[in-house]
Structure formats: C-alpha cells, structure tokens
Amino acid sequence: MKFPDKLFRRSVEYCQVDSHNEKVLLQHIACAAFEIPVSSEYDEKYFGPSLERAILSLKNKGHLVPDPEVSASKIWNYVGPEDKPSAAVSIRAIDDNRYKVIDKSSNEVLEEIEESKAFFQVYEGAVYMHQGCTYLIKSLLLSEKIAFCQKADLKYYTKTRDYTDIHVVGGDLAYLPPMTTEFASRRTSAQVNACTVTTNWFGFYRIWRTSNQIFDRVDLSLPSYSYNSQAAWIRVPQSIKVAVQKNNLAFRAGLHAASHALLNVVPLYMMCNTSDLGTDCANPHEIRDIPERLLLYDQHSGGIGLSLQIQRLFRELLIAAMELVSTCSCLHSAGCPNCVQVLTCSEYNEVLDKKAAMIILDGVIEAENSQFSSRESSGNPSFD
C-alpha cells in the first residue's frame, strides 16, 4: 500500500443526489402516490419545482388521476398498471427500457439488459456469457426488444466496433446545489453543462480465445442510441498540446490516458464507481480529432448529480490524478490498471500514453494556478 493515510485518515467521500432527474422523479412520485395521495399544492417542498410537470406527465400516461372529492385537481391518486409500482422500479438502473435475453431451447429469460448497454452485449452473432455458460445470439428483435440465444461451444469471443460522441450542449443546469463556503474556496475553471451522449455500433470482431487474435470482421446495422446527461469538463490549452508534440508523444493518447487517471481517482472523493462515469475514449480505428478537453460525464440518463460534484472538486481531482500517474512504477507506455487503464474503457484501453498524460495533467494544473493567481493579483478574485 503506497498511501495508507489516504485510506484510513481521509474524510468520508462526498455524496451527491440529484432529485430532479426526470426518470427518477416520475418513478418516485408514482410510488409515493400509491402509499398516500400526492398534493400538487403542498408536496412541492418534498419533490421540488418539477412536481407539477411530473404529475402532468404521469397523468398523461394514465398513472395518476385527480381525487374527485377535491376541487381544482390538487390531490392525485395512483391508478397505474402496476399493483405495486415500487416492484417495477429497478434499484440498480434508471433506464426502464430493457432488452430481454431469452434461451431459445427453454424459452427462459436469462437476463434483462438496459437499452443503453444492450448492443454492447447482444446482436446477431454475438458471443454472450451468462453464469459461466457460453451462448450465441441467433436473432435480435428490435421492435420487441428481445434477443434469442442458444448454448454454444465456441473457441472465440466477440467485441463490438463502435464509437461514442459526447456533445456538450452548453447552458447552465436548471438545478445547482447551493455553493458552500468549503466549495467556494476550490478554485477551478471547470464547467458543468448538459450534454448528449450518442453511441453508434457499426460492426464486431471475432477473436480467438487462445491468442486474442482477430480472425473476422463483421458489419452490423444497428440504430444509434442517445441520451441526455450532465458533464463536467475543463479545457486543455493549446500550449499543452504543443508541449506534448514537441516530446514526440501522441496528444490524443495522452488526453485519453489523463481522462482515465481522473476516472480512477474520483471514487476516492465521491460515493460512486468508475462505471457510473464516462469520458472521451479515443478509438484506435478512426482518425477524427477529439475535443481538447478533460471531461467526465454521468453514464445515467438525465444525470444523477455526479458531474455537479466533480466540477467543484476538479482541481483536487487533477492533483490526485497527477500524483497517481507520476508515482506509479509501471514502465509500459500505455500504463497499467493502477494508473491510466480502467476496466470500463469502451475502447479496451487502447490509444493510451502515460508520459503524455503527465504532461497534460501537469500543464492543466499549472494553467489553473496561473489563471487564478493573476485574478487575485489584479484585484478580481471572483471565480464565477
């Protein structure tokens, strides 16, 4: 263990809850109305200013009706299709759209997969693993959200060919938690914005298990998947890109590795897993430039408030990420799982450069220090 004090003596991680996530709020109100009628007049203090809009949405879905004994539709009762709405709410996922994986031989439902993750695992020709058994996906019914599979003894596995774009749409988020004195002192130019995450799947590889060698490439025609979320990000100055290139290092790979390092340190500061967050991952098979930024986004539709907390902690995360990478003893240019590799990388930890990541992280930290030092010396300490 390198830093025992950080494990045993540091303060408890921050917890961030976004009660305004639309999907969570709708499910929450439906469950609450089942237990006791919801009042649009008096319950806003519990559910927030989105209560009226949420009630209208549930009414249009046929889940809520106004109490006939109360005038002006101020009290709402649950009349939805579920006998007990809480039974239909997943405690592990926000997305209520799921694909069923069905064994053709027994007609048994093996698993239900969130729509946002389904095409990474199930598509025609995919090798699918379930409880230690190998299955081959025989067909995928998009309209019914069903994948049929059968057991198979295969010497290969499959891996999707895909890419994900994160488009920051700008504008302030509608609901920001109050700024505390503790957070106000954490100087950072990082921003938090709404974003749109879009994944496209265009094929898959067949890969031998014994050698990990690709022996076949297959094209796919699957619909893209998009969802709205929240992202915290910071610009990487052009001067840092030039510094990386002067050292004959790949800026794209360094940016990818630096983003991974940030991902790896977030759970030390917040109650979350690296799988709750995503970042810009460089695809080894494309030559498109990626934005010159370090970005982390909520991998849950609508966002769950993680990015809001990350924005305020960004300075500390940069310093922690730099310490993580610079103190790691691995010698491989692509780093290791202790520094710049993450299990959840959509590109399987390809296109990484540890040395370039250190230049980028160090440069961004220095740029942040310089920016706020100049503000203070000019008599303008505002960090808005």
Tens of pLDDT, residues 92-147: 777 778 999 999 999 999 999 999 899 999 999 999 999 999 999 999 999 999 99
| Pairing of β 98-103 and β 146-151 | parallel
Cα-based torsion angle of the residue sequence 264, 265, 266, 270 in order, rounded to the nearest 10 degrees: 130
Averaged pLDDT for residues 61-88: 87
The pLDDT value recorded for residue 206 is 97
**Rounded distance, CA 163 to CA 206, Å?**
18
Query: Is the pLDDT confidence value at 265 over 50?
Result: yes
| Pairing of β 98-103 and β 156-168 | unpaired
279-324 pLDDT, tens per residue? 999 888 777 777 899 999 999 888 888 998 999 999 999 999 999 9
Query: Is the pLDDT confidence value at 178 over 70?
Result: no
Give CA separation, 15 vs 153, 225, 272, in Å.
45, 29, 8
**Every domain of the chain and the residues it spans:** 22-88, 98-154, 162-200+222-377
| DSSP secondary structure code for residue 7 in this structure | H
How far apart, in Å, do the first and last CA atoms of the chain sit? 39
Query: Is the pLDDT confidence value at 72 over 70?
Result: no
| Predicted model pTM | 0.80
Comparing 7-11, 243-247, 280-284, which segment has the lowest mean pLDDT?
A: 7-11
**Do residues 47 and 76 touch, judged by C-beta distance below 8 A?**
no
The rounded mean pLDDT for the chain is 88
> Could you tell me which CATH number the domain at 22-88 has?
1.10.10
Averaged pLDDT for residues 343-363: 94
| DSSP secondary structure code for residue 14 in this structure | B
